[in-house]
Amino acid sequence: MAGKDKIKTEKKNKIKNDKKDKKSKKTVRNEIYIVGAGPGDEKLITVKGKELLKKADLVIYAGSLVNKKVLNYTKGECVDSYGLTLDETTKMTVDAVNAGKMVVRLHSGDPALYGSIVEQTEELKKYDITAKRVPGVSSVFAVAAALETQFTLNNVSDSLIITRPAGTTLETDQIPEFSELGVTMAIFLGTQKIEEIMNKVRCPKTTPVAVVFHASWEDESVIRGTVEDIARKVKDAGIKRSAMIIIGDVVDPKNYAKSYLYGVKQGPLD
Ligand SMILES: C[S@@+](CC[C@H](N)C(=O)[O-])C[C@H]1O[C@@H](n2cnc3c(N)ncnc32)[C@H](O)[C@@H]1O
């Protein structure tokens, strides 16, 4: 090959190789995605969450509350994090990222509620891995849909308290104090302690209470009662987990005021 031609070919090859290098660097991401899977119904994941699952090589999902049907959106390897330590899931994530894999951590509902994602992301930061979050539909909203109610309703309740009872990870709770406020309460992770919870609330015994099991799943079920009798009803139904307790008059809405929004009376909108 003549000298000039040789230089030209070498230049071309260098450009080609640089492009290749850039491409391969692009596929080594040092980020993962924390995605909300929604409350159960596989159609209640966000479009963005579904697209990320499609692209994922590894999906680490949070146990029994993520409907396995959601995992049909991915062709990647799926690992149930139930029983794994934070160190183990971190190592698995770091190894996958270093191998150029796209990782999704899939949490039930919305990851911002009882999801332990802050500690996960803190660990990953030590390896220079960032976690981008994709919100999901929390089970609390699927519960409102199952009850055919609103958590905030004019004249009934303007606020929603999201809480959980004391247990292994929480020494004391504020359920007695919250229940004096007369607003809607959504109690996560509490079905097993329902009797204890009903004994410590300070609202009238006649206050409506509902327990919704597996909201939005095919086997969703709703039990309605009052502070007085809900624990017995839930026990009789054999429900021990995967359910939410809603306390407040919105469970059985009666004396609510119509919204100004629909022209009953035009007030300031904000
Ligand atoms: C660890 S928390 C996770 C909550 C989740 N991040 C969310 O936003 O729904 C698990 C608790 O959420 C509630 N939960 C989750 N999915 C549910 C569903 N489909 N129906 C009723 N309660 C549900 C239950 O109280 C359960 O004990």
Instruction: Using the predicted structure, report yes or no on whether residue 18 has a pLDDT greater than 90.
Output: no
> Ligand 1 pocket test: which of 108, 140, 160, 189 has the largest number of ligand atoms within 8 Å of its C-beta?
108
Q: Mean pLDDT across the stretch 153-158?
A: 94
Q: What is the mean pLDDT of the chain?
A: 91
Ligand 1 center to 158 CA (angstroms): 23
Can you give the pLDDT at residue 269?
58
Task: Please indicate whether the domains covering 23-137 and 140-251 agree at the CATH topology level.
Answer: no
Do residues 214 and 220 lie in contact, with contact meaning Cβ atoms separated by under 8 Å? yes
The residues facing 245 across adjacent strands are 187, 211
Ligand 1 center to 58 CA (angstroms): 23
Query: For residue range 207-225, what is the model confidence (pLDDT) as tens digits?
Result: 999 999 999 999 999 999 9
CA 225 – CA 197 distance, rounded (Å): 14
Query: For residue range 43-54, what is the model confidence (pLDDT) as tens digits?
Result: 999 999 999 999
Can you give the pLDDT at residue 26?
47
Atom of ligand 1 nearest to the CA of 212: 21
Query: For residue range 22-37, what is the model confidence (pLDDT) as tens digits?
Result: 555 444 569 999 999 9
Q: Mean pLDDT across the stretch 115-134?
A: 95
- Parse the chain into domains and list their residue ranges: 23-137, 140-251
Can you give the pLDDT at residue 10?
72
CA 160 – CA 158 distance, rounded (Å): 7
Ligand 1 center to 102 CA (angstroms): 26
Can you give the pLDDT at residue 23?
52
Which residue minimizes the CA distance to atom 3 of ligand 1?
Answer: 114
Instruction: Using the predicted structure, report yes or no on whether residue 14 has a pLDDT greater than 70.
Output: no
Q: Within 13 Å, how many C-alpha atoms sit on residue 165's CB side?
A: 17
Query: 179-184: long-range contacts (C-beta < 8 A, 24 or more apart)?
Result: 179/203, 179/247, 182/157, 182/248, 183/157, 183/158, 183/159, 183/248, 184/151, 184/152, 184/157, 184/159, 184/160, 184/246, 184/247, 184/248, 184/250
What is the pTM assigned to this prediction? 0.87
Can you give the pLDDT at residue 111?
96
CATH class as words, domain 23-137: alpha beta
Which amino acid is residue 247, in one-letter code?
I
Can you give the pLDDT at residue 29?
67
Ligand 1 center to 76 CA (angstroms): 25
Query: For residue range 173-215, what is the model confidence (pLDDT) as tens digits?
Result: 999 999 999 999 999 999 999 999 999 999 999 999 999 999 9
- The binding-site residues of ligand 1, defined as CB within 6 angstroms of any ligand atom, are 39-40, 65, 107-110, 113-115, 138-139, 142-143, 188-189, 212, 214-217, 242-244
Ligand 1 center to 95 CA (angstroms): 30
CATH of domain 140-251: 3.30.950.10
Nearest Cα to Cα of residue 136 among 35, 246, 245: 35
Can you give the pLDDT at residue 173?
93
Which residue minimizes the CA distance to atom 27 of ligand 1?
Answer: 189
**Which helix H or strand E contains 246, and what residues bound it?**
strand 243-247
Can you give the pLDDT at residue 270?
60
Query: For residue range 54-101, what is the model confidence (pLDDT) as tens digits?
Result: 999 999 998 889 999 999 999 999 999 999 999 999 999 999 999 999
